[in-house]
Structure 1
Amino acid sequence: MPRPQRFLVGLIGAGIGTSMSPALHEREADRHGVRYLYQLIDLDSRPGEVGELLASARRLGFHGLNITHPAKQDVVEFLDELAPEAAELGAVNTVVFRDGKAVGHNTDRYGFATGLARALPDAPLGHVVQLGAGGAGLAVAAALAGAGARRLSVADVDPQRAGRLAEAIAAHHPAAVEPITPEQVPARLAEADGLVNATPIGMEGHPGTPIDPQHLRPGLWVADVIYRPLDTDLISAARRLGCPVVDGGGMAVHQAAASFRLFTGLAADEERMGDDFAELARGGDDG
């Protein structure tokens, strides 16, 4: 079957009005000489309707969708199939409509793993504390375990969600995964090598830090999955202390490149997409 030269894709999520995804995808498509329209479908005005929106996108001829907070796990029940990495995690950030089926994928794991490896290739992974066990948290934990983390302490405001994450990761990786409460985080951080924020706290509309910055210390590496803003309060506080930091830009770029490949079958240039992201983050033209 010949590859289509026109693509209609979109993003479903809450608070996505300033997402860079449309520009990242459309600029890459321009370099390949294909027409590509990336639409934002904001759940703020339609909470809890991801299934209906998915069905509408399929009827309207979308080639695929990206899925972001808070629907990465909720969307699973509305899909026909899950790719292996999505089935392992129980979380989806990319849906491809093909051959009459809606197939869920997860490119977040690749995105975080690649971003961390490029930003901090020598980051120690003996013990990492992770905040957040939702859809992004599942991908981050799997990426850390796959990169060789020996011990993960995962905190979430919902203890059952943290427990489910621990079970999911333990089923596929040898890492010791310990669900903890938010109150236990300071004690774990005192002996940890790294900290990852996989919660929405710090993004536009959810200001603040997921932990008190007084619990950070020099030598602890700190990563955030948020890229709007790029310098979250957590990243800024860590940088002031001299901590090695990884902002959410790398994950955003690499997961977008992987999603673009799934939507189009074309090889995305991740270096060029990284340059696009840097320009957009500085306030460059979105076109």
Structure 2
Amino acid sequence: MTDSVLCGLIGTGVLPSLTPPLHEEEGRRQGLRYLYRIIDLDALGLTVADLPRLVRSARDLGFRGLNITHPCKQAVIDCLDELTPDAARLGAVNTVVFDDGRAVGHNTDWSGFGRAFDRELADAPVRSVVQIGAGGAGAAVAYALLSRGVGHLALVDADAVRAQRLARTLVTVFPGAVIDSRPLATLEAALAGADGLVHATPMGMAEHPGSAVPAAALRPDLWVAEVVYRPLRTELVRAAEAAGARTLNGGGMAVYQAVEAYRLFTGVEPDADRMRAHLLSLCAAEESDTAAFASSSADRTYRL
């Protein structure tokens, strides 16, 4: 354990991230001097090609670790000295820990989703599941689902090659499961015989509004899990609730991956319930501010 921690987040469009206050507040509650910095590639005019320099600089400057997000979760692997077994199987890293001069890649996305799933949907049937999205987050979610005994996983992605590649990778890790890729056009047909649906693309975020799933394809006996957490109730989650389906929003995955990253960075076990409550309060405040701004804007427009 250390009483001073410097960490950061690398990705694009991450300036509004809630990760810094989530980590820093938990550090404050545990008596740590915890500083969490945002390294936004867009804001700095950088690209994925700058990752090696950024990782090297963070290590040289005394960072304890880095969180990694889109579009760097796979590209960062070439910048590291070592991968944990789970990160190696997934081919994606969302957490880097600097340990004795070595950069070690971890993946806490899969365990974060798994812990959230166990909390809310532990008794849900998993004979057949459809997953939309086969990128870095999709790989982690699929790994968590298959670790929980999913018998048949159908991967749907606009990039058919990416979905096929992930399916081939996962089959080698889970030879007892049926894992295949499906064209996006067959989504509704795939859902007709499924127990559950997992959405693992950016659609539904404030910057990418909408839903990847037609509301008519949702039904009461289909559980629906989401990875997007801003907003917590995406269009997909709202439509699933309206259809009477059980739902899991993206807040749980966001919290529990942060819980594990915090432990890796500090060597201290955080209070998961406290971090969860904090994230919910941050999301609620953000959504309240957004609603107030929209209302104010509408009022000004009306009076003009």
TM-score by length of 1: 0.95
| Deviations, residues 217-259 of structure 1 (Å, cap 9, x unaligned) | 2221111111111111111111111111100000011000000
What pairs up with 1:174-193 in 2 under 5 angstroms? 174-193=176-195
Shifted more, 159-168 versus 81-90: the winner is 159-168
State the AA in 2 paired with 1:269: D
| Deviations, residues 169-206 of structure 1 (Å, cap 9, x unaligned) | 11111221111111111100011011111111111311
Cα contact 1:136–1:198 (8 A) shared by 2: yes
| Deviations, residues 109-158 of structure 1 (Å, cap 9, x unaligned) | 11001101111221110111000111101110010000110010001111
In structure 1, the residue matched to 2:15 is 17
In structure 2, the residue matched to 1:122 is 123
Query: Distance in 2 between the 1:278 and 1:147 partners?
Result: 26
| Deviations, residues 66-112 of structure 1 (Å, cap 9, x unaligned) | 01122111111111110111001000000001111111000011100
Higher RCO (CA 8 Å, separation ≥ 6 residues): 1
Query: Distance in 1 between the 2:215 and 2:104 partners?
Result: 40
Deviation at residue 65 of structure 1 after TM alignment = 0.5
SS state at 1:122 partner = coil
**Unaligned regions of 5+ residues in structure 2, if any?**
287-304
Cα contact 1:111–1:251 (8 A) shared by 2: yes
Change (3 A) 1:54 1:37: same
Equivalenced residues, count: 282
Match of 2:266 among 238, 252, 264: 264
Cα contact 1:15–1:205 (8 A) shared by 2: no
Shifted more, 105-114 versus 59-68: the winner is 59-68
Query: Distance in 2 between the 1:38 and 1:150 partners?
Result: 40
In structure 1, the residue matched to 2:107 is 106
SS state at 1:62 partner = coil
SS state at 2:285 partner = coil
Query: Distance in 2 between the 1:245 and 1:116 partners?
Result: 10
In structure 2, the residue matched to 1:225 is 227
Shifted more, 130-139 versus 174-183: the winner is 174-183
In structure 2, the residue matched to 1:164 is 165
Larger radius of gyration: 2
SS state at 2:270 partner = coil
Match of 1:4 among 2, 7, 25: 2
SS state at 1:153 partner = strand
In structure 2, the residue matched to 1:28 is 26
State the AA in 2 paired with 1:265: G
Deviation at residue 44 of structure 1 after TM alignment = 2.2
Query: Distance in 2 between the 1:207 and 1:70 partners?
Result: 19
In structure 1, the residue matched to 2:299 is none
Deviation at residue 43 of structure 1 after TM alignment = 2.2
Query: Distance in 2 between the 1:7 and 1:201 partners?
Result: 34
- Root mean square deviation, CA, Å: 1.3
Deviation at residue 25 of structure 1 after TM alignment = 0.8
Match of 2:280 among 272, 278, 281: 278
Query: Distance in 1 between the 2:232 and 2:30 partners?
Result: 28
In structure 1, the residue matched to 2:61 is 60
Q: Which structure is higher in helix share?
A: 2
What pairs up with 1:233-272 in 2 under 5 angstroms? 233-272=235-274
| Deviations, residues 20-42 of structure 1 (Å, cap 9, x unaligned) | 11111111111221110111111
In structure 1, the residue matched to 2:197 is 195
Cα contact 1:223–1:247 (8 A) shared by 2: yes
Deviation at residue 18 of structure 1 after TM alignment = 2.3
